[in-house]
Structure formats: C-alpha cells, structure tokens
Amino acid sequence: MKYTSIFAAAVTALASAVSAAGVTGAAEGFARGVTGGGNAAPVYPRNTDELVSYLGDSQPRVIILTKTFDFTNTEGTETSSGCAPWGTAPGAQLAINKNNWCNNYANTAPKVNSITYNKAGVLGITVNSNKSLVGQGSAGVIKGRGLRIVSGAKNVIIQNIAITDINPRYVWGGDAITLDNTDLVWIDHVTTARIARQHIVLGTQADNRVTISYNFIDGRSQYSATGNGHHYWGIYLAGTNDMVTLKGNYFYYTSGRLPKVQGNTLLHAVNNYFDSIDGHAFEIDAGGYVLAEGNAFKNVATPVQLPVSGQLFSAPNAAANQQCRSVLGRPCQVNAFDNSGSFNNQANTAVISKFAGKSIAPANLAVNIPRWVLANSGQGKI
C-alpha cells in the first residue's frame, strides 16, 4: 500500500507538470493545481509590443522569453515634483509625489521640485487569465517594467524570468509583480533586482491562492530608503482573503518588509533563506496569520519586527512543533539563526488550526536550507 501511494502521488505530480506545457514542475502549497496556459502551443514574442499583446489577450498562452525585453524608453519620461523622506544624501531614494503621497512628509521631508523617471515602469504589463510566462535558460528578462495580474485574472504561472531596473532611484516608480483581485498564481524561479518599490505586492482585494517559490529577491541597489544599498521594499501581502505559500526563496541584502503581512492573509513561510538583512524581515500587522517553519537566517538583525500585531507561530522548538501534527500531519520544523536575532519565542498556536484542510507545502530541515536555496533559487536554476 505504501509503495502504491507513492507511485500514485508521483503520477499525479507528473500529470500536473505535463498539463502546464513549457513549465517545469508543479506548484506546491496553496496554488497547487495551477496550469497557466496549459497545453497551448508556445509563442515566442519578438519585441515588447508582441509581449504585451500575448500577455494581455484573452487566449490561453504559453509565452517563452528568449531574450531581454527592454521597456525603459518605450513610453518616454515624465517630470514631476517629489520629496526626499530619507534625506538627499547620495544613495537615498527620492519619492515621486504619487497621489500626493509626499503630503505625509510635508513637515519633515525636503521637497524636490523636479524628478524625471521612465513612464513605462510606473504601471506593469497587464497579464490576463490562463497564461504561462516562461524564460528559456537564463535569457528571459523584462527590463524597466513589471507585471500586473489584476481585475479578476487567474490561473497564471510566471517562471524562470528576471524582472529588473524599474526606476530604482524613485519610490512609486513601479513594482516588479503586482497581484490584486486574482486567484491561482504561481511565481517561481524569478529573479527581481533594482526595483523602485515592491518586488512582489498583493493588493488589498482578494488574491486567494498564491505560491511564491524558489525566487531570488536581490536587494542590492545603488539607491535605497535607508541609503545603505539594502532595498527596503520587499514583499507586501495585504489582501482581504489571501492564502500565500512562500517557499524556498532567497532574500538577500534587503532591510524591511520581507514580508509585510496584513489585511486577512494566511501565510506559510517555509524553507526560505534570509541573508544579510540590515533591518527586519517579517513585519506582521493586524490580519496577518503566519506559520514560519524551517527558515534559515544569516546576518539578519531582526527576523521579526515587534510588536507582532497579527498572529505568528514561529516553530520555536521540537516540543511545541508537535502541535502541528494534528493539522499538517507532521511536526513543524524549527528555524535556524546564524549571527541573527530570533523570533522571540512567538508561538501563537491559533495560527495552526487555520491550515486545516488546505494544500500545505512540505518542510525540510532548516540546517540544509542555505546551501540548497543558493543552488536552486532564482532564474536559470530550474
């Protein structure tokens, strides 16, 4: 019976992988079952216009990227006013006055009369339902513009691409990947670097089932909110009915919001590697429900920002972790800390029950995670 069950599981996994043509593997966790473009014949966009068209039309698509698509100058530049919430020293990000945002700092931040930025980066490319966007090898890059899966779009896979260089000097200059009012989205083996604001953001409307797996969030930047080269705006999860699996990701050289969780978000953060975070990783506000297990932290000053206004079960020790067995069918895995702070024994067991009956990603020992993540996460490592 045991071997029969293992074989059946393997067949199921293979069927899921095959059903998503052009995609490698299958989503773990909450977005399990996502198929993207399914068996649609692959298309190979030749230029930025074709890429935008394929992503935004109503047909199921498997879109293969074989080169860099540079949107930096496709819409020209815009000049507007702004402000300097973090000062005007070299390396400090300035802020575009989007929706009069600078009014929040009217009494503390110097006004900047002229900010010039690339218009294309401010609003990402619309991605409609039933799409697989897949990079070939390490060649698939979208530069200067991000992606938006919004307004009811669902069943989307983004795999093995890089998204880079979106107005990195200016906050509100654009996000790499935006979700808002969507369902069944898998973001996998993606590298994001030199982004204006959020690397990944889930908006305030329901985003439902999402898996963010094996990505490389590269926070190294010439410009940052803290002025020290560590990007602050990492991952922001703010939906009203979201279930997010965050597994196997490499978070490097950031300083905050990794992730920020609020709204009504159930987050399973498992087997991620947090490296050289000058500031805080997790920020859990009201409405954030987080199970963090099997993660590894190296040179992370503050793994979780206090106070925790939401709920966090941080898998503090083997004894406490046995409480996961009744819901997950296994104990939770302890987290590992190397020259880092700690989760301060945050162990709200009420979080565990929220995972009952849901698709839960497996967890491995944290001690093995740094080497494994470095070898397997990000574009070109699939």
Rounded to whole angstroms, what are the CA distances from 85 to 94, 103, 117, 224?
7, 10, 18, 11
| Number of other residues whose CB lies within 10 A of the CB of residue 329 | 9
- Cα torsion for 151, 249, 265, 98, to the nearest 10°? -50
Q: Is 301 within 8 Å of 341 (Cβ atoms)?
A: yes
145, 257, 325, 371: the catalytic one is 257
Q: Is 172 within 8 Å of 203 (Cβ atoms)?
A: no
Q: Is 218 within 8 Å of 195 (Cβ atoms)?
A: no
Q: What is the C-alpha separation between 218 and 291, in angstroms, rounded?
A: 24
- Cα torsion for 95, 99, 102, 106, to the nearest 10°? 170
- The token pair at 105 is 């700092």
Q: Which among 192, 170, 178, 166 has a CA at the least distance from the CA of 72?
A: 166
Q: What is the C-alpha separation between 306 and 367, in angstroms, rounded?
A: 25
Q: Which among 340, 346, 238, 242 has a CA at the least distance from the CA of 292?
A: 346
Q: Is 246 within 8 Å of 30 (Cβ atoms)?
A: no
Q: Find where tokens 């009420």 sit.
A: 350
32 is catalytic: no
- The token pair at 260 is 């920020």
Catalytic residues: 257
